[in-house]
Chain A
Amino acid sequence: MTNIIFTEDEWTKALQGISDSYKVFAPVKDGDFHTFKPMNATKAPDFDFQNTRLSAKALIYPQSERMFEYSVDERASDASIVRETPKDYSPKAIVGIRPCDAHGFSIVRPNFDNQEYRDPWWVQSFESTVLVGLGCNQPCSTCFCASVGGGPFNKDVLDVLIYDLGANFMVTGLTEKGETFLTKVKGGKAADDESIKQAEALATEAAKMSKADVPTDKLRDKVINDLFAAPFWQDVGFACLNCGTCTYLCPTCWCFDIQDEVLGKQGDRIRNWDSCMFPLFTLHGSGHNPRDQKFQRVRQRFMHKLKYYVDKYQDGVQCSGCGRCVRYCPVNIDIRQVAELMNNY
């Protein structure tokens, strides 16, 4: 396990220096919040944030992704032949991702990569990515990673972990992929024992602050239909605007919709993020929608995350506890309270 110490400037320079080997995405300040952008020489990354406004989901699983393309020119020899759109799966690194958001990728993986189905684009995109995490010294009051199998310095899904020691960063290789990444990173100096101790202390301190009080332990034993028919859904959903803020900001919402778009003679088959909050979600060709009403869509979101996923994959809930939906829901629908309602029903 390699531990290297960098000052923030050295670390920025080191990241700029690996552009031949990796396309690096790092958080930059963009107005009032931080967002992941491809690194360039003009704008330095900024690691002083609680979390990026959007999760890093889109870097693996873009909001709009061209899957196939075709020509609708009937005179062309390849008219209507659908071809895969060329894609770039050269190595990339997401630097500064929080452990909760990395955990999000392992939560969605069973959906894109299982014994029945293998989504070639998600899998290739994920596998070509090095996840360089930034430990959370100060978990937010609204996040709850420790309640859902994660933690502010959780290493499970990361390849590299950065400890923000104040004056310096300590960068630790966790996997082979991560160690390979670190061999390309120039500069820094080997970490001394004191820094390693300081890093461990930070992680211990953060674990103490991290909230593990969102109950999910009894969800598995609940009967699906009981929860589905529970009396609280109308109340939970009353305020909901059915906007896509929660699902689009969520690192673990994976639903998509496939659309064909034609411009002139050129057609593209695109998959776009979908949201169970939207009226078109699961609208049948017949015009029937099994989730016609707002409360049904709200119920779908929470049942999917806190019950269907739990039953199907037997591996916890479909939530990494990042707290974005809690912080940014415009009408304050709080998944922590809904988890409690469901768990204690």
Chain B
Amino acid sequence: MIKYTAIIRETAKRLLKDGTIDVFIGYKKGTVPMMNEPVVISDPDKTDLLYWDDFCGQNLCNYLTKRKERIGIVANGCNSRNIVTHITENQISREQLYIVGIPCAGVIDHRAVLRAVGNKEVLDVQDAGDKFTVSGNGFSEIFEKTKFLRGNCAACAHRNPVIYDEMVADFIKEQEGVEAFEDIKKIEAMDSEKKSGFFTKMIERCLRCYACRNSCPLCYCPTCFVDESRPQWVGKSIDPIDTMTFHIMRAYHCAGRCTDCGACERVCPVGIPMRQFTKKLNKDALEYFSWEAGLNPDARPPLDVYKPDDYNGFVK
């Protein structure tokens, strides 16, 4: 929603000027189509750098971790859920934050756009309401936004922020009856050997660049287990077993915490759909604990509480 840009700029300027916040975190327009750059602004005269369109896909919650200032931040549904998770996990305090909420109709999947134009170079993208135009050398296409949403956005049930101080626009209608786990059910139905083959194939192109880990707002450990050297848990080469260890461990570290914001898949330079791992854990969290991450800052996540009267017998 490109029309939010002007409101975000004004809001940030006002908040910086009146001293509500020290810095504002948002996006600025990218230097290449379908790409925007997260930016932090402290000068109220520079808020015109701020920008919002349907390609703001990197989760801004990453940039909050352990910051000390009072921060203004734009947040759509999933970003706000990660802010909640950050608050719950003591990575930032609610009092430090001024959240400018964005009702989000979904982020457009730049890979799907590229695929639709035969992976030709896209030179320009223009917003046209429910549609957008994509052009390059010798082609110009008009696409409907709803057909190009990222997988996580198409199945999103929390488009409006769950926590905010003010909104840039009214809430939009939440999607209902979306089946979010069709693909996971297919994997669940496989036998062990088939599953193993499926996941091995899925990650075979992995470069171990860790873009998925680093783009994830949940991955803020001071030293990640793959970077530990004493002891060294995982080999550093591109041995497939080490690579699989990384992916599975990473996914499990996200269990009960993942908001399915899609940042991991968005950044992968070789296009690995690693949400197939985390979505299974989201499904389990929902089925076993009726839990969706980041909806309530006062609720403790299921995997960090112990209740003597827990209805699950195995914890006793």
Majority SS at the chain B contact face: loop
- Which B residues are CB-close (under 8 A) to A31? 271
Closest to A242 in B: B214
Contact with A along B204-215 (1 / 0, CB 8 A): 010111110111
In the complex, are the beta carbons of A279 and B223 less than 8 A apart? yes
In the complex, are the beta carbons of B238 and A64 less than 8 A apart? yes
CA distance A35 to B199 in the complex (A): 21
In the complex, are the beta carbons of B119 and A278 less than 8 A apart? no
Decide: A238 near B38, CB < 8 A? Known: A243-B209, A243-B215, A326-B31. yes
Contact with A along B45-73 (1 / 0, CB 8 A): 00000000000001000110000000000
Decide: A248 near B271, CB < 8 A? Known: A138-B137, A241-B62, A261-B235. no
Query: Shortest CB–CB separation between residue B33 and chain A, in angstroms?
Result: 9
Q: Which of B189-242 contact A (CB under 8 A)?
A: 205, 207-211, 213-215, 223-224, 227, 229, 235-239
- Which A residues are CB-close (under 8 A) to B236? 257, 259, 270, 272
Query: Inter-chain contact count A-B, CB under 8 Å?
Result: 106
Decide if B115 is an interface residue (CB 8 Å cutoff). Answer: yes
In the complex, are the beta carbons of A272 and B119 less than 8 A apart? no
CA distance A138 to B271 in the complex (A): 25
In the complex, are the beta carbons of A244 and B207 less than 8 A apart? yes
Closest to B223 in A: A279
Decide if A204 is an interface residue (CB 8 Å cutoff). Answer: no
Kindly identify which residue among B36, B121, B205 contacts A141, using a CB–CB cutoff of 8 Å: B121
Decide if B40 is an interface residue (CB 8 Å cutoff). Answer: yes
The interface-forming segment of B171-179, B244-252, B262-270, B289-297 is B262-270
Decide: A238 near B209, CB < 8 A? Known: A32-B111, A245-B269. no
CA distance A336 to B115 in the complex (A): 26
Range for the number of chain B residues in contact with chain A:
35 or more
Range for the number of chain A residues in contact with chain B:
35 or more
- Which A residues are CB-close (under 8 A) to B238? 63-64, 272
In the complex, are the beta carbons of B208 and A244 less than 8 A apart? yes
In the complex, are the beta carbons of B210 and A243 less than 8 A apart? yes
Which are the 9 A-B pairs with shortest beta-carbon distances?
A330-B267, A244-B209, A243-B211, A64-B237, A241-B214, A332-B37, A239-B38, A332-B30, A332-B35
**Chain B residues packing against A (C-beta within 8 Å):** 30-32, 35-40, 58, 62-63, 111, 114-115, 119, 121, 123, 137, 205, 207-211, 213-215, 223-224, 227, 229, 235-239, 266-267, 269-271
21 pairs of residues in contact across A and B, judged by CB atoms under 8 Å: A32-B111, A33-B271, A54-B270, A63-B237, A63-B238, A239-B39, A241-B58, A241-B215, A243-B211, A243-B267, A244-B211, A257-B236, A326-B31, A327-B32, A328-B269, A329-B35, A330-B211, A330-B266, A331-B37, A331-B58, A332-B36
